[in-house]
Amino acid sequence: MDLSNLMHNYPEAVSMILFAIGFSNLLLQKNLIKKIIGLNIMDTAMYLFLALKGYIVGRSAPIVTDGVQSVEAYINPIPAGLVLTGIVVSVSVSALMLSLTIRLYRRFHTLNLDEISTMLKKEGL
């Protein structure tokens, strides 16, 4: 383990810790809405990681200014496009999960996963 490199890559380490926070939220919370929030935190950590992969120190955003078109002037534009795709998919998935949660709430009048599974067991499902 290269500790000095880890210290230099601390934003990436932060994104990994965020990912783990989201994942532990997903495992430990019983409320469905909080589980969805955990999944969204994981998404955000991934965007941070991808955006950091394209960053180069001392270069500007990839918008051509003053006709300068050399690679030395701009950061990598590809991760930005990938993050855009990720955001759209994450919005759609969260909307789908929230609507399923609303359906569950209408049926069982609770968001607690334990109570829902107890009720399901009571109904013999």
Contact set for another protein, span 100-119 (CB under 8 A): 100, 102-103, 114-115, 118-119
Contacts of 80 (CB under 8 A, 6+ apart): 51, 54, 62
Max Cα separation, the chain? 70
Residue bearing tokens 């469905």: 32
CB of 118 to another protein, least distance (A): 5
By beta-carbon proximity to another protein, the closer residue of 31 and 89 is 89
Contact set for another protein, span 63-82 (CB under 8 A): 63-64, 69-74, 76-81
Contacts of 67 (CB under 8 A, 6+ apart): none
Contact set for another protein, span 15-44 (CB under 8 A): 16-17, 19-20, 23-24, 27-28
Q: Is the four-CA dihedral 74, 75, 78, 83 of positive or negative sign?
A: negative
112 - beta bridge partners?
31
Which residues of this protein are in contact with another protein, per CB under 8 A?
1-3, 5-6, 8-9, 11-13, 16-17, 19-20, 23-24, 27-28, 52-57, 59, 61-64, 69-74, 76-81, 84-85, 87-89, 91-93, 95-96, 98-100, 102-103, 114-115, 118-119, 122
